[in-house]
Chains A and B, each alone.
Chain A
Amino acid sequence: MTSSDWPLWEVFVRAKGGLAHRHVGSVHAPDGELALRHARDTYTRRQEGVSLWVVKSTDIVASDPDQAGELFEPAADKVYRHPTFYDIPDVVKHI
């Protein structure tokens, strides 16, 4: 058996408490538990994280790049939707 027979899993790492999990890459693995092991050995060997998620790549529903125009461009000229008119206190991190 080679890794090409194994499904692909997307890997998400939480760098530290309070931060959201971030997509960092993918691994091949025969099942979820081993995908976690592979993710741990591949993406957290230099203290990159405190928590891991793996999701089967085929379980992710993605937007269609051909529809990018109609999906995302209408937001471009609506600057009033950005909360840029508030002062954020110094103690609030990670916004």
Chain B
Amino acid sequence: MPSLPPIRPEDEAAAATLRATGEFDAPADVHDPVRAGYFLRLGDDALILGQRLSEWCGHAPSVEVDLSLANLALDLVGQATLLLAEAGDADELAFKRDVLDFRNCWLVEQPNGDFARTMVRQLVFSTWQHLLYQRLTQSSDAALAGIAAKGVKEVAYHRELAADWVVRLGDGTEESRARTQDALDWCWRFVPELFEVDAELERAIALGLAVDPRGYEEEYRGAVAAVLGEAGLPVPADQRAIVGGRRGHHSEHLGHLLAIMQYLPRTYPDAVW
């Protein structure tokens, strides 16, 4: 990868001007902050996980699994495109925001790790996303209900595929079982964030736009436990929760992901296919 161009004094001056005019603030917060904010959360979850999964392209354990993972990634990037378009200009939001302006949860930005980690992360996320999208089809917001109705079938498949793999890995060899157990212990600390309701989400729920995730937490835990039961894996004990993604506090991994994802449009802003 070529290196980034050097920062010149005139760039610094231009940046200072833009900062003073608020150009560096999250652009979606202009018209309806509650609605835009909720779409950002949903869109960023899909975008970041889609980007993560696409990192497997050409590296998966087999060509068939490579295609499976690429299909998941494409579904999620497709959802992100629709969701972010409701929060503002989807391309601008995806490629020109800095790390603190992203509103995705911690789970989706975690590195792929090994295949077990990727599949456990997918099970933990897709099960949650499926329950959410099922309910969002009833959202008071017609655009969101439509996006959820389209996405819910895709996500149902993601959930089943991930469950199939977690069962086989957990119930496989000694090594696959140990790796899957490790993956589960790693991912489990990010589950409470999925059910966190902050003031911003509360406002979106009050409007009938958003769904209160606490309403399906029990169903979620039951569904994940059922898959783990079939895989012969114990449900991990709850760990100290890591939260903050919805307020722009992220792990170090997100910046690295964005550096790769945003490199081209930021370095060559006029690039076209």
Interface string of A1-18 (1 = CB under 8 A from B): 111001000000000000
Majority SS of interface residues in chain B? helix
- Taking A33-B164, A34-B164, A34-B168 as contacts, is the C-beta distance between A41 and B61 under 8 angstroms? no
Q: Give the residue of B64, B161, B168 whose beta carbon is less than 8 angstroms from that of A27.
A: B64
Contact of B62 among A3, A31, A33 (CB under 8 A): A3
Residues from chain B with Cβ under 8 Å of A41 in the complex = 64, 67-68, 71
B15 within 8 A of A: no
Q: Which residues of chain B are within 8 angstroms of A34 by Cβ–Cβ distance?
A: 164-165, 168
A-contacting residues, B157-173, CB 8 Å:
161, 164-165, 168
A89 to B215, CA, bound (A): 59
**Which chain B residue shows the least CB distance to A6?**
B62
Q: Cβ of B61 and Cβ of A1 under 8 Å apart?
A: yes
Closest to A30 in B: B168
Please pick, from A1, A29, A33, the residue contacting B64 in the complex, using a CB distance under 8 A: A29
The answer for the CA separation of A21 and B65 in the assembled complex, in Å, is: 24
A56 in contact (CB, < 8 A): no
Within 8 A of B (CB), among A28-86: 28-31, 33-34, 37-38, 41-42, 45
Task: List the interface of chain A (C-beta within 8 A of B).
Answer: 1-3, 6, 27-31, 33-34, 37-38, 41-42, 45
Besides A28-B62, A41-B71, 20 other CB < 8 A contacts? A1-B61, A2-B62, A3-B61, A3-B63, A3-B65, A27-B64, A28-B64, A29-B64, A30-B168, A34-B165, A34-B168, A37-B68, A37-B161, A37-B164, A38-B65, A38-B67, A41-B64, A41-B67, A42-B67, A45-B67
The answer to whether A2 and B67 touch across the interface, beta carbons within 8 angstroms, is no
- Inter-chain CA distance A38–B64, complex, in Å, is 6
Shortest distance between the CB of B117 and any CB in chain A (Å): 16
Number of B interface residues, CB 8 Å? 12
Residues in B with CB closer than 8 Å to A1 are 61
Distance in angstroms from A50 CB to nearest chain B CB is: 14
Which one of A27, A33, A38 has the greatest number of beta carbons of chain B within 10 Å?
Answer: A38
Residues of A within 8 A of B65 (CB): 3, 38
Please give the distance in Å from A48's CB to the nearest CB on chain B: 14
> Which chain B residues border A33 with CB–CB below 8 Å?
164
Docked-complex contact B71 and A45, CB < 8 angstroms: yes
B residues less than 8 Å from A27 (CB atoms) = 64
- Chain B residues, CB < 8 A from A29: 64
A-B CB contact pairs (8 Å), 9 listed: A3-B62, A3-B63, A3-B65, A28-B62, A34-B165, A34-B168, A37-B68, A38-B67, A41-B64
Contacts of A31 in B (CB 8 A): 168
> How far, in whole Å, are A42 and B63 apart by their CA atoms in the complex?
9
A49 to chain B, nearest CB (A): 15
Q: Nearest B residue to A5 by beta-carbon distance?
A: B62
**Residues from chain B with Cβ under 8 Å of A2 in the complex:** 61-62
Give CA–CA (A42, B71) in the complex, Å.
9
Residue of B nearest to A39 (CB): B64
**Residues in chain A near residue B71, CB distance under 8 A:** 41, 45
Nearest-neighbor residue (CB-CB) of B160 within chain A: A37
Most buried by B among A28, A34, A45: A34
Which 4 pairs, one residue from A and one from B, show the smallest C-beta to C-beta distance? A3-B62, A38-B64, A41-B68, A41-B67
